[in-house]
Amino acid sequence: MISRLATLLTLLTAAIATAAPKRPNVLFLFTDDQRHDTIQALGNERIQTPHIDRLVNGGLSFTNAYIMGASSMAVCTPSRACLFSGRTLWNLESQGLWDFEIAETDTTLTQAFRQRGYTTFATGKNDPGFGKNGHFSRSFSTGSRLYDRGGHRGQNRTPLFNLSPDGEKIKLEPDGRFNAEHFADACVEFLNSRKDLDEPFFAYVSFMTPHDPLNCPEEFLAKYEAGDMKLPANFRPRHPFDAGVHNIRDEKLMKLPRSEDKVLERLARYYALVTHTDAQIGRILEALEESGHAANTLIVFSSDNGLALGSHGLMGKQNVYEHSVKVPFIISGPGIPAGETRDQLCYIYDIFPTLCEMAGVEIPENVEYKSLKPVITDAEATHRDHLSFAFMQWHRAVRDERHKLIEYAVDGSRHTQLFDLKEDPHELDNLADDPAHAKTLARLRELLEKERVRLNDGTSSFGRADQGKEFWSTYATDE
């Protein structure tokens, strides 16, 4: 009798294990400096992105996805720190102007998956990464062809390294190939190694493109001519006032006033780099199919920030205009509607709790963002009714579903911009001085102050409080 019961129990356990849903893999494709309007399937007819288009057509695109801005001139660094820590901008731990660390007490995105038995892999850009708090070593179980910071003099002359089994850096000799190709190689090799394995994985591919330098193979440069490009609708030769950013590196890439011809030339090269990166994404997607894991893999595509490229007379991303804080964001895979869009306001960092929830991974206590799963399953679900943005000690902004307020405080000078994004998506018509919009201006200013308190802007103990205090002390004075 006991033997029969034991047999039945064994069969029942096996049946339950067989019936249990298989945990999804995750493939996270993350580009660098990619504007939200650089995908053909989402409306840009001048650019070629056939493989990202596949993700759009087979998945869900968020058309109002944003970053929070930056507390560093290197916008990518705090953006990636927000992504991996789940912390909001003013709660990031930082060391000096450029470096960000993820607190040792915070569980990172991939660390949460690794703790649940996932193999976590990374290639490409890895900041925040190898600092004193060891974000990379605790987040990833393996990685190859990683960016060795410093000495980056071209997309085909990028210093890279592999990791030895004991975590030591093994520097790679430059071979003339472009870094996006190296990163795709690394991911393809990883996916090939998973063909006969059931253990779930989380693969993070952190491209360094289309960030400048804008060089890529000639066959891709030949796809675009400056004469075929179109200037941004909000192109301006100069920014209308001092925004505090005009002497930084990105703004020195082109002389003032901005030349239309030079901007068109730069746009052509930028598009070529996007298309070259897209080709590498295609190689990765093909390897995923060949691995046998495609049907059970959640694929995320996004970028760490946008870029001006002549919009508003600016070249870089050190601002809070739409072209710099709005980014592409696509998710596809099991449980994701195909070929649909969502226009709910969100941060790309909301993907941290979203992926956890969809994979059955416990959301760490340090995560301050909101899961998008309700929006994924229900197109009418609510998510956020407003978003806030910042750039260092100079810019603060807040937007709701229709209007956006930007406040500038630079060297004691104040400037205010109010835009109706429904009627004016390119932020050209400043309504701040229009009496008809006085109530909207007052309401958004009140919301901006509430966001200051909620987000610890100016009161945070994580190393950026000085920027917030400087902005708000100037902002509080009479104009």
Strands (E), 275-402: 297-303, 329-332, 340-342, 346-347, 387-391, 395-399
Residues in the chain: 479
Please tell me which residue, 320 or 15, carries the higher pLDDT value: 320
Per-residue pLDDT at 476 exceeds 90? no
Percent of the chain with pLDDT over 90: 80
Phi, psi (deg, nearest 5) at residue 110? -75, -25
> What are the C-alpha distances in Å from 166 to residues 79, 234, 458?
29, 51, 41
Distance CA 62, CA 152 (A): 32
User: Mean per-residue pLDDT for 321-334?
Assistant: 98
Distance CA 342, CA 329 (A): 10
Least confident of 8-12, 264-268, 342-346: 8-12
Summarize pLDDT for 340-356 with one digit per residue, the tens. 999 999 999 999 999 99
- DSSP secondary structure letters along 383-440: --S-EEEEETTTEEEEE-SSEEEEEEEETTEEEEEEEETTT-TT-----TT-GGGHHH
The CATH number for 387-475, chosen from 3.30.1120.10, 3.40.50.300, 3.40.1160.10, 3.20.20.70, is 3.30.1120.10
Per-residue pLDDT at 16 exceeds 50? no
The alpha carbon of residue 456 and the mean position of all alpha carbons in its chain are separated, in whole angstroms, by: 22
| pLDDT value, residue 458 | 86
Q: Hey, where are the domains in the chain?
A: 23-377, 387-475
Q: For residues 272 and 209, is the Cβ–Cβ distance under 8 A?
A: no
Q: What is the pTM of this model?
A: 0.94
Summarize pLDDT for 437-460 with one digit per residue, the tens. 999 999 999 999 999 999 999 876
Token representation of residue 421: 């994004």
| pLDDT value, residue 18 | 46
Per-residue pLDDT at 2 exceeds 90? no
Per-residue pLDDT at 275 exceeds 80? yes
Distance CA 441, CA 434 (A): 9
Q: Look up residue 360 and give its amino acid.
A: G
The CATH number for 23-377, chosen from 3.40.720.10, 3.40.1160.10, 3.90.1280.10, 1.20.58.110, is 3.40.720.10
Summarize pLDDT for 225-249 with one digit per residue, the tens. 999 999 999 999 999 999 999 999 9
Q: Look up residue 48 and give its amino acid.
A: Q
Least confident of 71-80, 109-118, 334-343: 71-80
